[in-house]
Amino acid sequence: MTDSSPAPRPIDIALLASVFVIAACGLLYELAAGALASYLLGDSILQFSTVIGTYLFAMGVGSWLSRYFERQLPAHFLRIELLVALVGGALPAILFIANAYLPSAFRVLLYGMVLLVGTLVGLEIPLVMRILKRNVQLKDLVSQVLTFDYLGALAVSLAFPLLLVPQLGLVRTGLLFGFMNAAVALWALWLFRRELRRLSAHALACAAVLAVLLAGLWGAEHITRFAEDKFYQDRIVLASTTPYQRIVVTQGRAGHRLYLNGNLQFAERDEYRYHEALVHPAMSAHGAPKRVAVLGGGDGMAVREILKYPSVEAITLVELDPAMTRLFGQNATLRRLNGDALASPKLAIVNQDAFQWLQAGDDTFDVIVVDFPDPTNFAIGKLYTNSFYALLEQRLAASGYAVIQTTSPLLARKSFWTVVATIESVGLTATPYHAHVPSFGEWGFVIASRRPWRLPQALPEGLRFLDVASLPLLFDFPLDMARVPAEVNRLSNQVLVHSYEQEWGHVSGH
């Protein structure tokens, strides 16, 4: 017995190929919205969850609405493709600009665009299936469409973090995939040219959308800089999007500033205060540290301070993002800021997740400097948990000290003392202190050790902020920064991320 199913027509094969592109583009817009939300709003799990949930809901709405499209299905499909191309392709650019010029409307615009794109994408597949239904049996139709749909989603889910964002950036990636959606519309125009009414009007619409997207692709860098210049105020001199973060370096009257995902990491005019306070209380108290590890701190500033100790024989810098160590190791201006510390023969750079690095090794260190960004999301929050500090304790030499940068004890008081409580929960002695850094305000640090911390009798020469006489003042906490009850931050609860968001959100709201 032979299969009675008709052989697939070229038009059917073309439509199935379109399904692949449609699925890839649809998921790309979803990922771009989630990534932008996590960059700009923090708490990546919350942002991705709400964006994905909103998007899937909108797709369901679109699928339900498809029942009202009864005639001229190819024409409807073509128009929807053009709308998806315009709205989805421009989504990252519009959101970047909105964040800079209309920050109060950002969330409304974000979810409004996600709802619109999701609804349009939800309309696409049902229309394709109904067009294919003319010549394909239902069982084959469903399996073929879903196969190409899932394959397109797989392709873009791998390409987005590994290739597209690092090489093109979010704005150019969105516009490129919008162009692909418009190309599908152009393809549909040719495939259904005998069925379409007002063919010239459809052709003109395709040409206009393609022209807009091509213009956007050509000017993508200008769009990004237009938005970021407003957001950062100072002139942007370096900008890079990596699989891990958006790196921006600006230059203004206060010198250079480094931002990661929009959050200030240092300002040239006062970074010496932060890095001297971070490094020297632990290093000087040790006496003669030989082996030192720096976790985070890919800018090399902490390494610069550590190299002021002649006793140091080896430094291991563990920085997740190779783009950071490459940028601060090769750019002449940034090398000047860190004193060319990343070129030191004493330094070994490891581009790896610090959590995994602690788990995998067994070397111990006299001093470990932990210089991570603040816990704005769960990916960073895991580096402030009791699980992380238990691993840190295993890598400390018996008389060693670890020091952790720990947000502001004044503006994020509960978050600061949460870190202290978490360090103590793994059996380490926690010695908190603080320093005033004008760019940040009052900033906190914690020394973690097995032996009590003692005030050093000497500090390296040439420091601009610290001296032995004033050092004890850093360890005195006035009433408005004094200890408050706080939970232990665990991998299973990540209470620190929640309290940090609440406290800093309250501050920014004023």
Query: What pLDDT band is residue 330 in, cutting at 50, 70 and 90?
Result: very high
> What's the pLDDT at 80?
93
Q: Provide CB contacts within 8 A for 68, sequence distance 6+.
A: none
Q: Which two tokens stand for residue 121?
A: 């994408």
Compare 46 and 436 and report the one with higher pLDDT: 436
Same domain, 178 and 289: no
* Nearest residue to 369 (alpha-carbon basis) of 279, 285, 433: 279
Instruction: Look over the chain and give the mean of its residue pLDDT values, rounded to a whole number.
Output: 88
Q: What are 91-103's pLDDT values in tens digits?
A: 999 998 888 788 8
User: Would you mind telling me the total number of residues written for the chain in this entry?
Assistant: 510
Count of domains forming the chain: 3
Q: Provide CB contacts within 8 A for 288, sequence distance 6+.
A: 311
Same domain, 391 and 478: yes
Q: Which two tokens stand for residue 190?
A: 């040719």
Query: What pLDDT band is residue 400 in, cutting at 50, 70 and 90?
Result: very high
State phi, psi for 431 to the nearest 5 degrees.
-120, 100
Is 416 among the domain residues?
Answer: yes
246 has pLDDT over 50: yes
In whole angstroms, what is the distance from residue 165 CA to residue 173 CA? Answer: 7
Query: Which domain does 30 fall in, by range?
Result: 10-228
Give strand pairing partners of 318: 295, 350
Same domain, 201 and 242: no
337 has pLDDT over 90: yes
Residue written as token pair 């809901």:
57
220 has pLDDT over 70: yes
Q: Which two tokens stand for residue 394?
A: 């295993």
Q: Which CATH number do you get for residue 501?
A: 3.40.50.150
In what side-by-side order are the strands of the sheet with 365-371? 347-350, 314-318, 291-296, 365-371, 396-405, 441-449, 429-437
* Nearest residue to 316 (alpha-carbon basis) of 273, 383, 366: 366
Same domain, 156 and 238: no
Bridge-based pairing of strands 291-296 and 365-371 is: parallel
Same domain, 303 and 418: yes
Query: What pLDDT band is residue 45 in, cutting at 50, 70 and 90?
Result: confident
DSSP H helices, 2-137, are 10-41, 44-65, 73-101, 106-132
Q: Provide CB contacts within 8 A for 408, sequence distance 6+.
A: 416, 440, 441, 442, 443, 444
Same domain, 258 and 368: no
Give strand pairing partners of 348: 316
Q: What are 352-399's pLDDT values in tens digits?
A: 999 999 999 889 999 999 999 898 888 888 999 999 999 999 999 999
Q: Which CATH number do you get for residue 248?
A: 2.30.140.10
Query: What pLDDT band is residue 2 in, cutting at 50, 70 and 90?
Result: very low
Q: Which two tokens stand for residue 170?
A: 């979010």
> What's the pLDDT at 138?
47
Same domain, 294 and 216: no
Is 4 among the domain residues?
Answer: no
Bridge-based pairing of strands 365-371 and 347-350 is: unpaired
> Across 261-341, where does the E strand assignment appear?
263-267, 291-296, 314-318
Residue 50: C-alpha distances to residues 343, 408, 452 (Å): 43, 29, 45
Same domain, 160 and 33: yes
479 has pLDDT over 90: yes
The rounded Cα 229 to chain-centroid distance in angstroms is: 19
User: Residue 350 is which amino acid?
Assistant: V
The helix/strand/coil state of 433 is strand
Same domain, 246 and 192: no
Q: Which two tokens stand for residue 406?
A: 């720990």
Report the chain's terminal Cα–Cα distance, integer Å.
77
Q: Which CATH number do you get for residue 154?
A: 1.20.1250
Is 96 among the domain residues?
Answer: yes
Same domain, 192 and 304: no
pTM: 0.76
1 has pLDDT over 80: no
Q: What are 258-296's pLDDT values in tens digits?
A: 988 778 889 999 999 999 999 999 999 998 999 999 999
480 a catalytic residue: no
> What's the pLDDT at 158?
86
User: Residue 381 is which amino acid?
Assistant: G
Is 2 among the domain residues?
Answer: no
Is 5 among the domain residues?
Answer: no
The helix/strand/coil state of 486 is coil
Q: Tell me which of 371, 374, 476, 480 is the catalytic residue.
A: 371
> What's the pLDDT at 156?
86
> What's the pLDDT at 42?
64
Cβ atoms of 410 and 435 within 8 Å: the answer is: no
